[in-house]
Chain A
Amino acid sequence: MGPKAIEKKRKVQDPEPESDDEIAPDFDGALSQSEDEFDSDFDDNEHEQDGEQESGSEASDDEDEEGSLLSDDIPSDAEGDKAMGKLVLEDEEEELKIEIPGVDPKRPEKDDGEKNYRIEKDANGNERYVYDEIDPVYDSDDSDAQEAPNTIGNIPMSFYDSYPHIGYDINGKKIMRPATGDALDALLDSIEVPKGWTGLTDIHTGNPLNLNDDELELVRRVQMGMIPNELENPYPETVEYFTGIEEKMPLSAAPEPKRRFLPSKNEAKKIMKLVRAIREGRILPYKPPEEREKEEEEEEQYFDIWQDEVPQEVNPLHIPAPKLPPPGFDMSYNPPAEYLPTKEEREEWEKLDPEEREKEYLPQKYDSLRKVPGYGEVVKERFERCMDLYLAPRVRKNRLNIDPNSLLPKLPSPSELKPFPTVAQTVFRGHDGRVRSVAIDPTGVAVASGGDDGTVRVWELLTGRQVWSVKLSSEEAVNTVRWRPAKDSFILSAAVGEDIYLMVPTHASVTPALDQASRDILSAGFGYATNGQQHGAAPGKEPPAKWARPGAKLEDEGVLIRITVRSTVKVINWHRKGDHFATVSPSGQRSSVAIHTLSKHLTQIPFRKLSGLAQTASFHPLRPLFFVATQRTIRCYDLQKLELVKVVQPGAKWISSFDIHPGGDNLIVGSYDKRLLWHDLDLSIRPYKTMRFHSEAVRQVKYHKGGLPLFADASDDGTLQIFHGKVPNDQLENPTIVPVKVLKGHKVVNKLGVLDMDWHPREPWCVSAGADGTIRLWM
């Protein structure tokens, strides 16, 4: 067992040194082939080191072995192994090849002298080698040695057909033929196919040749088109042999190549070329002096960007830049002793955070100026000084310290200001196309409207029932409708193109008496008309307007008078007493504003010349004043003295409408530039308040005339805005203006929203005329 143990030990111990020894030379060669000479040098060095280490380890190994076993064989064995390293490897390979016979031919050689067999005499008296049973050592390669195969060699098995055995094993023992079942067994076998059954028989052993599990798995995998070996990874992780990452530390520590220290012959050649060219005059090393002068001249062109600057006047509130304090003793390089910090002060200063320090420096004493070092904080100090200058205020500004909320006026909440209209309650449908104008009659029962379809309609206010209608024109739109503001009559005026119609919309609810009274009022002036024209208008001049009957057809409908003026009338406004009304036709040059007298059928042009295009005009509700709005201003004229009283300048670009407060001292103006302006006529010609709450032009503005502190505006954004506007009785107080409600409902059609609106004479209700063809009652 002794040698076996040794052998075992060697096998256990050897692998490390063996492999190291073997692999290293092989590697070196392989590398040296691809590497530079320098690298191989480097490797050689390394190898030497390795060798040393190895010898050390070998020595220790030797010692160990000597100490433990005291055997002579071992060093030689090891040496032999070392020398034959490659051979051993080859042996193993060979072993693999010859495995199938099961005999290791080299084994006897390896066990120099030691015999692992004994010689016996066989049946014929010849020598026969009987080998020892192989001890299946754990690590031995014989672990997978197969059971003793048949040793009969390559002869047909039929030779043994007549014998009970089928051959001999390696020890010469007969291999008996396995018992074969009878036909029934064979049949059963064929029916009940065992796992891995192939139907073949191993000729050498006579056993059925079945496939084991691994083989079956292999077959299955091949059939499935998979990779036969389960363990093999078909997609191994790629090993990045070459990468773009530049290593910071080079793997190679090779010394600088020699060529880096030698002058380059190639460069010398190039230089010689240049030298030769200079010598031959092909290249000029410097520019000729004249040329250089020229260039210099060109370069010296500077521009004074401040040449045109005019010295600015110094702002009276200018503050000169803050000055630095002059240096004191503590800044001296040789300060008096009392300025020098004590040890505690120094420590304290050092402990403080740099930002918290009182001074940036500590006074220091030097023997002479020559010994003063550079000041380390100079850059930081300069930078901070620059920042101070940059951020220092240059002009004194008086800042108000007022809470912004306190500036907001204290407005009452809308819910306290009820009643005001909040929702649309009735929709008046019937107009074809835009409704341009709407008006509630003085009794508050009927609504009149006029629109693009050329009709004037009268509706019942609460139910939205149309009770009367007349078609005044088939081509032109009704621009405006207004009721005569007196309860003793039921007269409606409407403007279509250049015609103004006066009508009595007699529906069933109008009593014959009222109807007759209205007709009488209208026709009373016919006698005057002829007289008036005779002496009123200058001979040869066309009268400003023609008062006439509109024809039998319209007269039957209740339209009684047609007044034809020179240009399209856009606005009608009645005097409160109902005898006069003013019309405005913005396109009419001189005759844009006209005042008509109903009782005399007389039309007068009050202005020979008007600065600007007249937009709208209105009578003062109490006094004999007349207001005319041009695009930018509103002028107030005294009708008795016939003089200009006041010019109101709302500051709007284009006034669309205005309305005078029933109290007479306030005015609201709507403008096409989206603004609503409140004027206090006594206070100023400028607006008291400007409200810019609409997103589109404001078309119409109206005060509530029935005693409620309300006013509203209608806008092209499809909304009406309702405001609470209380004018106090006390002249000293300012009016309270609170927006209370936005009435939404009208659709915007072709960028036109609400075109006109009117208040109910008593209730907080209003009606609006929309470009969407509807009139709405809001309450």
Chain B
Amino acid sequence: MDHPTESGAQVRVTFTTQEEDIQLDESKRQLLVPADIRRYGLSRILNSESMLDTDSIPFDFLVNGSFLRGSLEEYLNANGLSLETNITLQYVRSLIPPTYEASFEHDDWVSAVDVLSATSPAGRWSGDNFQRGQDRILSASYDGLLRIWDASGNVIGTSPSGSHGGHTASIKAAKFLSSTQIASAGMDRTVRVWKYTESGESYERRGELKPTLELYGHTSSIDSLEVDGASKRILTASADGSIGFWTTSKASAPEVSDSSLLPGAHTSKRRKLTTSVTAAQRGPLALMNIHNAPATAAVFDPRDRTVAYSVSQDHTVKTIDLTTSSVVSTFTTSHALLSLAALPRSSASAPLLACGTSARHITLVDPRTSTAATSVMTLRGHANKVVSLAANPENEYSLVSGSHDGTCRIWDLRSVRPATKDEGGMGSVSEPVYVIERESQQGKKKKSGVTGDGCKVFSVVWDQLGIFSGGEDKKVQINKGRGVNAE
């Protein structure tokens, strides 16, 4: 214990943690430390041989629900506590500010981003088929094209245009099903499944996207798409208020029931689009018209793939049993909901649902019917609609949100304070830990008083490779996420 023994007061602290692998011995938990010690000093003490004996894991310290930002003494002064107080410090692996890495330029607004890596869901689903180091980034754009990028920012593959079997309008959502399969959906009301193949040497890879399946059923723009590679299921949310449940296998998918949805069903002049490539046309496994306003997002339960959650502009969150295609429970919030992410919880059976609202905040909803309060927590800080959410792939308590205000914000659910009266006075509130600005807006003057005008973020993904966000500035921006989620 070679911490500097400077003059001044000492404070008795008790270290606790909730992470199993870095627990301290019972005897070491109580310690006297100098009052002017800061986060770095405490982190060094913890990493020292006599304590945890680790290779310098950066730690952050939670005191009474908020992160320690100054010295302990400052904290005590700010809260009017005496130096005699025994402080309980909960140590957590530190979040490191996400640093800007790269931007990939597009021709049009980027509506969706996904990542294929060893740790991403698609990477795991593809299992051994995925070759290490072949990290790929998928971006969907408003020009109706999907692009596959390698990690160094080269376009490997582009989807065919509308006249060649591609999307005939802007794509709003796209996801990797596996390393060889991609699903996308957009304003042309179709979900398309693509076969993705790569050829060529490692330095000159060429990817090819071939449409394999066109899924019809929605009657309006599809705003969100969620996939489960293991069961080959797709979940979509559309502006017609319905949630679609689809399979990617040609054989098991039912035929299109409503033939009027197919292109060419009506022979108006403009509709006569001759497609050189024809993909199989299939219908949904289930189409649940459960929302009476545009549905904006639907996700699978991270554990139980037969359960899905959906949100809509009609202010509701619905739990859907996919086996029976029925709504299990409905939670009504006070704002239109625009995005959804499920945060897995080890302590509870159901995940925590983070819902981005049009009222500029994120509401956390506990979907279990037994709980008394539906809204667990509110995350405040965005200045515009929150349209994209992604959970940290490695822990249960942090997530990133993308908003039309042109920022992505990283939240830590462990840092909580009770809501003030202005905020409704109910529940607890958290504030962002880090804010990722759009790199393209650096040094630009704002044209109007509207935040995020010209640099709205439409989609954000969090992977171990980093935080990927696409937006109105026609770029996919990559911020280092490696340090953000700890080792």
**Surface stretch bound by A, among B58-66, B266-274, B363-371:** B266-274
A763 near B313: Cβ-Cβ < 8 Å: yes
Asked whether A509 is an interface residue with its Cβ less than 8 Å from the other chain, the reply is yes
Asked whether B168 is an interface residue with its Cβ less than 8 Å from the other chain, the reply is yes
- Complex CA–CA separation, A426 to B455 (angstroms): 11
Tell which of A444, A460, A506, A519 touches B293, judged by Cβ atoms closer than 8 Å.
A444
Cβ contacts under 8 Å, A444 to chain B:
293-294, 313
Asked whether A516 is an interface residue with its Cβ less than 8 Å from the other chain, the reply is yes
A507 near B169: Cβ-Cβ < 8 Å: yes
Cβ contacts under 8 Å, A506 to chain B:
270
**Surface stretch bound by B, among A47-55, A241-249, A462-470:** A462-470
- The residue in chain A whose Cβ has the minimal distance to the Cβ of B293 is A762
A424 near B294: Cβ-Cβ < 8 Å: no
- Complex CA–CA separation, A412 to B186 (angstroms): 44
Asked whether A774 is an interface residue with its Cβ less than 8 Å from the other chain, the reply is yes
Cβ contacts under 8 Å, B422 to chain A:
415
Tell which of B261, B338, B456 touches A512, judged by Cβ atoms closer than 8 Å.
B261
B219 near A514: Cβ-Cβ < 8 Å: yes
- Complex CA–CA separation, A467 to B108 (angstroms): 13
Q: Indicate the member of A426, A444, A463 with the most B CB atoms within 10 Å.
A: A463
- Complex CA–CA separation, A779 to B384 (angstroms): 9
**Surface stretch bound by A, among B150-158, B193-201, B389-397, B445-453:** B445-453
Cβ contacts under 8 Å, A776 to chain B:
450
Q: Annotate A413-438 by CB proximity to B: 1 below 8 A, 0 otherwise.
A: 00100010001111100000000000
Q: With A425-B404, A511-B219 in contact, do A463 and B456 touch (Cβ < 8 Å)?
A: yes
Cβ contacts under 8 Å, B384 to chain A:
425
A745 near B358: Cβ-Cβ < 8 Å: no
B266 near A419: Cβ-Cβ < 8 Å: no
For residue A570, give the distance in angstroms from its CB to the closest CB of chain B. 29
Q: With A424-B450, A445-B220, A745-B449 in contact, do A509 and B261 touch (Cβ < 8 Å)?
A: no
B266 near A515: Cβ-Cβ < 8 Å: yes
Q: Annotate A438-473 by CB proximity to B: 1 below 8 A, 0 otherwise.
A: 000001110000000000000010111101000000
A425 near B385: Cβ-Cβ < 8 Å: yes
Cβ contacts under 8 Å, B258 to chain A:
513
Q: With A419-B359, A511-B220 in contact, do A745 and B458 touch (Cβ < 8 Å)?
A: no
Q: Annotate A564-590 by CB proximity to B: 1 below 8 A, 0 otherwise.
A: 000000000000000000000000000
Asked whether A556 is an interface residue with its Cβ less than 8 Å from the other chain, the reply is yes
Cβ contacts under 8 Å, B294 to chain A:
443-445
Q: Annotate B303-320 by CB proximity to A: 1 below 8 A, 0 otherwise.
A: 000000000011000000
- Chain A, interface residues (CB within 8 Å), range: 35 or more
- Complex CA–CA separation, A18 to B336 (angstroms): 119
Asked whether B323 is an interface residue with its Cβ less than 8 Å from the other chain, the reply is no
B219 near A508: Cβ-Cβ < 8 Å: no
Cβ contacts under 8 Å, B187 to chain A:
460, 467, 507-509
Asked whether B260 is an interface residue with its Cβ less than 8 Å from the other chain, the reply is yes
For chain B residues 200-217, which have a beta carbon within 8 Å of chain A? none
A512 near B169: Cβ-Cβ < 8 Å: no
Cβ contacts under 8 Å, B269 to chain A:
556
B169 near A509: Cβ-Cβ < 8 Å: yes
For chain A residues 380-429, which have a beta carbon within 8 Å of chain B? 415, 419, 423-427
A779 near B449: Cβ-Cβ < 8 Å: no
B260 near A512: Cβ-Cβ < 8 Å: yes
For residue A147, give the distance in angstroms from its CB to the closest CB of chain B. 83
B450 near A465: Cβ-Cβ < 8 Å: no
Q: With A419-B334, A508-B169, A509-B169 in contact, do A427 and B221 touch (Cβ < 8 Å)?
A: no
B449 near A463: Cβ-Cβ < 8 Å: no
- Complex CA–CA separation, A419 to B109 (angstroms): 31
A512 near B458: Cβ-Cβ < 8 Å: no
- Chain B, interface residues (CB within 8 Å), range: 35 or more
Asked whether B170 is an interface residue with its Cβ less than 8 Å from the other chain, the reply is yes
- Complex CA–CA separation, A427 to B384 (angstroms): 12
Cβ contacts under 8 Å, B263 to chain A:
512
- Complex CA–CA separation, A774 to B449 (angstroms): 12
Cβ contacts under 8 Å, B336 to chain A:
763
- Complex CA–CA separation, A519 to B271 (angstroms): 14
- Complex CA–CA separation, A439 to B383 (angstroms): 25
Cβ contacts under 8 Å, A512 to chain B:
260-263, 265-266, 268, 271
Cβ contacts under 8 Å, A508 to chain B:
168-170, 186-189, 221
A513 near B261: Cβ-Cβ < 8 Å: yes
For residue B382, give the distance in angstroms from its CB to the closest CB of chain A. 11
- Complex CA–CA separation, A779 to B405 (angstroms): 13
- The residue in chain A whose Cβ has the minimal distance to the Cβ of B142 is A465
Q: With A515-B268, A556-B270 in contact, do A509 and B221 touch (Cβ < 8 Å)?
A: yes
- Complex CA–CA separation, A425 to B358 (angstroms): 9
Asked whether B335 is an interface residue with its Cβ less than 8 Å from the other chain, the reply is yes
- Complex CA–CA separation, A464 to B186 (angstroms): 16
B220 near A427: Cβ-Cβ < 8 Å: no
Q: Indicate the member of A444, A445, A506 with the most B CB atoms within 10 Å.
A: A445
Asked whether B484 is an interface residue with its Cβ less than 8 Å from the other chain, the reply is no
- The residue in chain B whose Cβ has the minimal distance to the Cβ of A506 is B270
Tell which of B313, B448, B472 touches A762, judged by Cβ atoms closer than 8 Å.
B313
- The residue in chain A whose Cβ has the minimal distance to the Cβ of B422 is A415
For residue B264, give the distance in angstroms from its CB to the closest CB of chain A. 8
Asked whether B400 is an interface residue with its Cβ less than 8 Å from the other chain, the reply is no
Cβ contacts under 8 Å, A745 to chain B:
448-450
Q: Annotate B243-284 by CB proximity to A: 1 below 8 A, 0 otherwise.
A: 000000000000000101111011011110000000000000
- Complex CA–CA separation, A744 to B448 (angstroms): 11
A779 near B358: Cβ-Cβ < 8 Å: yes
Cβ contacts under 8 Å, A464 to chain B:
456
- Complex CA–CA separation, A444 to B312 (angstroms): 13
B404 near A426: Cβ-Cβ < 8 Å: yes
For residue A355, give the distance in angstroms from its CB to the closest CB of chain B. 58
B458 near A425: Cβ-Cβ < 8 Å: no
Asked whether B11 is an interface residue with its Cβ less than 8 Å from the other chain, the reply is no
Cβ contacts under 8 Å, A424 to chain B:
448-450
- The residue in chain B whose Cβ has the minimal distance to the Cβ of A425 is B384
Q: Annotate B208-240 by CB proximity to A: 1 below 8 A, 0 otherwise.
A: 000000000001110000000000000000010
B448 near A463: Cβ-Cβ < 8 Å: no
- Complex CA–CA separation, A444 to B109 (angstroms): 22
- Complex CA–CA separation, A716 to B248 (angstroms): 55
Cβ contacts under 8 Å, A443 to chain B:
220, 239, 294
Cβ contacts under 8 Å, B334 to chain A:
419
For residue B436, give the distance in angstroms from its CB to the closest CB of chain A. 20
For residue A759, give the distance in angstroms from its CB to the closest CB of chain B. 14
Cβ contacts under 8 Å, A516 to chain B:
260, 266, 268
- The residue in chain A whose Cβ has the minimal distance to the Cβ of B238 is A509
A513 near B260: Cβ-Cβ < 8 Å: yes
B221 near A445: Cβ-Cβ < 8 Å: yes
- Complex CA–CA separation, A558 to B269 (angstroms): 10
Cβ contacts under 8 Å, A514 to chain B:
219
Cβ contacts under 8 Å, A507 to chain B:
169, 187
23 examples of A-B residue contacts, CB within 8 angstroms? A419-B334, A427-B448, A443-B220, A460-B187, A460-B221, A462-B338, A462-B358, A462-B385, A462-B387, A462-B404, A463-B456, A463-B472, A465-B142, A467-B169, A507-B169, A508-B187, A509-B239, A511-B219, A511-B260, A512-B261, A512-B262, A513-B258, A745-B449
**Further 17 A-B residue pairs, CB within 8 A, beyond A415-B422, A462-B385, A462-B404:** A424-B449, A425-B384, A445-B294, A465-B142, A508-B168, A508-B186, A508-B221, A509-B169, A509-B189, A509-B221, A512-B260, A512-B262, A513-B266, A515-B266, A515-B268, A556-B270, A763-B313
A-B pairs, top 8 by smallest CB distance, nearest first, are A508-B169, A509-B221, A513-B260, A508-B188, A508-B187, A424-B450, A512-B266, A511-B219
